[in-house]
Amino acid sequence: MFPDALQFHIASYIDNFVKWLQISYGATFDAFSNFLLTILLGIQNALLLIPWWVWVVVVTGLAWWQSRKIFTALVLGGLMMLVGVFELWVPAIETLAIVITSVIISLVIGIPVGVAMAEWDRLSVVITPLLDAMQTMPSFVYLIPALMLFGLGKVPAVIATVIYAVPPVIRLTDLGIRQVSATVQEAARAFGATRWQMLKEVRLPLAMPSILAGVNQTTMMALAMVVVASMIGARGLGERVLLSLNRIAIGNGFEAGFAIVALAIIIDRLTQGVARRWQPPQTN
Amino acid sequence: MVKDNKPLLEVRNLWKVFGVNEENIDLNDLAALEQLEANGAVVAVRNVSFRVKRGEVFVIMGLSGSGKSTLIRCLLRLIEPTSGQVIVDGEDVTAMDEKQLIQFRRNKVAMVFQHYGLLPHRNVLENVAFGLKLRGVSREEREERALKAIEQVGLKGWEKYYPGSLSGGMQQRVGIARALVQDPDILLMDEPFSSLDPLIRREMQDELLKLQESVKKTIIFVTHDLNEALRLGDRMAVMREGVFVQVGKPQDIIIKPADEYVRRFVQDERRMALVAAGNRKALP
Ligand SMILES: Nc1ncnc2c1ncn2[C@@H]1O[C@H](COP(=O)(O)OP(=O)(O)OP(=O)(O)O)[C@@H](O)[C@H]1O
Ligand SMILES: [Mg+2]
């Protein structure tokens, strides 16, 4: 066995630190937490207000608009419908609300950070290893800091999801901007573009396909994480899976798992379609 | 001030050294310069001076790697010269701060690039109006002016097409229109026709000549094609390894090449000129 003399715990120090944080900044955390929760519930209630058949029609319509394929459109609409058939409509909407909130926050943070990384090389030297670390760590790890600061519930779920899902959009924004043709940028510079004009008129629009690919990946990762985050009290489909696991209710677990996959496919298809539509046109 | 006696563009002792810490170079110290080159520095432009009058077409010709592109980019500081002065219309471009430089690029010069440098996500009209947009010209006015320029280069009816759907020759017409619409004092052209088919190249040269009759711009034209130089240039400079080895009227350069390099360059033309003069015996 490991010698007693060498054993040492930092757990109590961490607990104390967190306690200190909560005492000193408790009001700030609470305000932040309430703010997030308000947004989240607002989104959730709005989503729940929409009748189920509107959802099915909208999903089918969007899928058709993007793919121009009847089959794809019907399959996606059918998947949406099945979620309701399995009596998982409300948990699916709850999950969706957390995903949407997390994705919005991820984009609000991620796109500017990605732009800044592309503009300032030094920043990218600092942030790149951070992103590498974030992506190699197992997703469970992110539950801990979120839990420490915000306890159980939907808010820490959103925080953990944002931490887990934000790297792809940062990376792909940075990458997309760096890949913008040097010839085009030189031409813009020759015509007197300021740094801001260069970003707005040339770099961002030309990086858009890459940025949207990042949005797609971020969304998919958010969905994956929301399922994991059910362990710290995010309700929704993940919770259903978790409950089924605990009760060894294989059938129920399958249904909930199926609903997650259905959401994933729908979200993936729809966001990918948007990305494709943004490619610079080759013909008129 | 009598403007006509003053050159519109004057370049004084321009140097560009790539790949060294620029502050610490003593360009007068030949031995030190050689040492730097041995260590991998490239002297792309070596003490070049010349003057160009208003309305003149000045051609810079030289083999690949002779420093033509570097030189023409130094004129609007797309590449920062290591030392020397560029004076346009009495103003020292090399002494300008960032703001003045942007104004200079917006109002005094316009450049046409070998690989066009068009914005792939903007149609022909928007591409041509790009420089005016950077200047802050109102939409109405810039479209009106862009339409005129598009007509000048023979692209009427193609306004709504995207660069990706145009042939190389047409893309370069857009590039030329984009420069003309700026109504610049000086038009800089870096091998604008080099990536076009020989037939189209010839056609574009003819059109440029015709255009020049009406717009009477001062043009700095870079090429590695002697024929092109002879057809377009009022005066030309032959460049080798960063040095202007000869500057003069094209005919004079053909008849009296300054050294072996220039002689080899103009050999074929020389032969033809002499044959035409019925002076076969003078051939080498
Ligand atoms: N950014 C750079 N860093 C280092 N060396 C460079 C750089 N740009 C150009 N050079 C070097 O400077 C020299 C002149 O290059 P430049 O592109 O001006 O030649 P050029 O006459 O335009 O040739 P081409 O006909 O191929 O376009 C070359 O030896 C090139 O390798
Ligand atoms: Mg060149």
B126, two tokens? 């928007």
Instruction: Give the mean model confidence (pLDDT) for residues B15-29.
Output: 76
Question: Which residue owns the Cα nearest ligand 1 atom 26?
Answer: B64
Give residue B67's region: left, alpha or beta (phi > 0; psi -120 to 50). Answer: left
Looking at chain B, the whole-number percentage of residues with pLDDT higher than 90 is: 65
Q: What does the pLDDT read at residue A283?
A: 47
- Residues B157-199: tens digit of each pLDDT: 999 999 999 999 999 999 999 999 999 999 999 999 998 888 8
The atom of ligand 1 lying closest to the CA of B66 is: 21
Reported as a pLDDT band with limits 50, 70 and 90, residue B12 is very high
Selection from A23-27, B111-115, B214-218 with the highest mean pLDDT? B111-115
Say which ligand is closest to the CA of B189: 2
pTM across the whole model? 0.85
Backbone phi, then psi, for A237, in 5-degree steps?
-60, -40
Distance CA A156, CA A231 (A): 11
Instruction: Give the mean model confidence (pLDDT) for residues B230-238.
Output: 93
Residue type present at position A237: L
Q: Is the ipTM of this complex over 0.90?
A: no
CB A102 within 8 A of CB A94: no
Q: What does the pLDDT read at residue A14?
A: 83
* Chain A residues lying within 8 Å of B102, measured CB to CB: 192-194
Rg (CA), chain B: 20
Give which of B11, B22, B6 is closest to B74, Cα–Cα: B11
Ligand 1 within 6 A of B55 CB? no
Q: Is the pLDDT of residue B1 over 50?
A: no
Residue spans of the domains in chain A: they are 4-49+86-277
Q: Is B6 exposed, middle or buried (0-12, 13-18, 19+ CB in 10 A)?
A: middle
Looking at chain A from residue 179 to 218, which residues have their Cβ under 8 Å from any Cβ of chain B? Answer: 181, 183-184, 186-194, 197, 201-202, 205-206
Q: Which of A181, A191, A281 sits opposite B130 (nearest CB)?
A: A191
Distance CA A262, CA A256 (A): 10
Q: Is the pLDDT of residue B269 over 90?
A: no
Backbone phi, then psi, for A50, in 5-degree steps?
-75, 125
Going across the sheet that includes B243-248, the strands are B109-112, B186-190, B218-223, B57-62, B235-240, B243-248
| Concatenated DSSP letters of chain B | --GGGS-SEEEEEEEEEESS-GGG--TT-HHHHHHHHHTT-EEEEEEEEEEE-TT-EEEEEE-TTSSHHHHHHHTTTSS--SEEEEEETTEEGGG--HHHHHHHHHHTEEEE-TT----TTS-HHHHHTHHHHHHT--HHHHHHHHHHHHHHTT-TT-TT--GGGS-HHHHHHHHHHHHHTT--SEEEEESTTTTS-HHHHHHHHHHHHHHHHHH--EEEEEES-HHHHHHH-SEEEEEETTEEEEEE-HHHHHHS-SSHHHHHHHHHHHHHHHHHTT-GGG--
SS3 call for A110: helix
Distance CA A169, CA A175 (A): 10
Say if the Cβ atoms of B162 and A283 lie within 8 Å: yes
Mutate to test the interface with B, among A183, A191, A201, A202 (most CBs of B within 10 A): A191
| Concatenated DSSP letters of B138-174 | -HHHHHHHHHHHHHHTT-TT-TT--GGGS-HHHHHHH
Question: Which residue owns the Cα nearest ligand 1 atom 17?
Answer: B69
SS3 call for A87: coil
Distance CA B180, CA B177 (A): 5
CB A155 within 8 A of CB A145: no
Task: State which residue of chain B sits closest to A208, comparing Cα positions.
Answer: B121
Task: State which residue of chain A sits closest to B110, comparing Cα positions.
Answer: A191
Q: What does the pLDDT read at residue A282?
A: 54
Q: What does the pLDDT read at residue A189?
A: 96
Residue type present at position A144: I
Q: Within a 13 Å sphere around the CA of B25, how many CA atoms are in the beta-carbon half?
A: 23
Ligand 1 within 6 A of B248 CB? no
CB B101 within 8 A of CB A190: no
What are the residues whose beta carbons fall under 8 Å from the beta carbon of B209, sequence distance 6 or more? B231, B232
The atom of ligand 1 lying closest to the CA of B69 is: 22
Say which ligand is closest to the CA of B74: 1
A60, two tokens? 């089918």
Give which of B78, B118, B86, B126 is closest to B102, Cα–Cα: B78
Counting as low any pLDDT under 70, the low residues of chain A are: 280-284
Distance CA B68, CA B16 (A): 11
Is CATH 1.10.3720.10 the right assignment for the domain spanning A4-49+86-277?
Answer: yes
Q: Provide the shortest C-alpha distance from residue A215 to chain B (in Å).
A: 20
Distance CA A53, CA A78 (A): 11
Q: What does the pLDDT read at residue A145?
A: 78
**Virtual torsion, Cα B200, B202, B204, B208, nearest 10 deg:** 180
Say if the Cβ atoms of B131 and A191 lie within 8 Å: yes
Give which of B51, B100, B42, B41 is closest to B76, Cα–Cα: B100
B117, two tokens? 């440098």
Give which of B257, B254, B189 is closest to B219, Cα–Cα: B189
Q: Is A39 exposed, middle or buried (0-12, 13-18, 19+ CB in 10 A)?
A: middle
Q: Is A89 exposed, middle or buried (0-12, 13-18, 19+ CB in 10 A)?
A: middle
Q: Is A196 exposed, middle or buried (0-12, 13-18, 19+ CB in 10 A)?
A: exposed
Going across the sheet that includes B83-88, the strands are B42-52, B9-18, B83-88, B91-92
Distance CA B131, CA A188 (A): 8
Q: What does the pLDDT read at residue A75?
A: 92
Residue spans of the domains in chain B: they are 251-284
CA-CA distances (angstroms) from residue A138 to A215, A223, A238, B192? 21, 15, 17, 54
**Virtual torsion, Cα A204, A208, A211, A216, nearest 10 deg:** 160
- Residues A216-270: tens digit of each pLDDT: 999 999 999 888 888 888 888 988 988 898 898 889 999 999 999 999 999 998 8
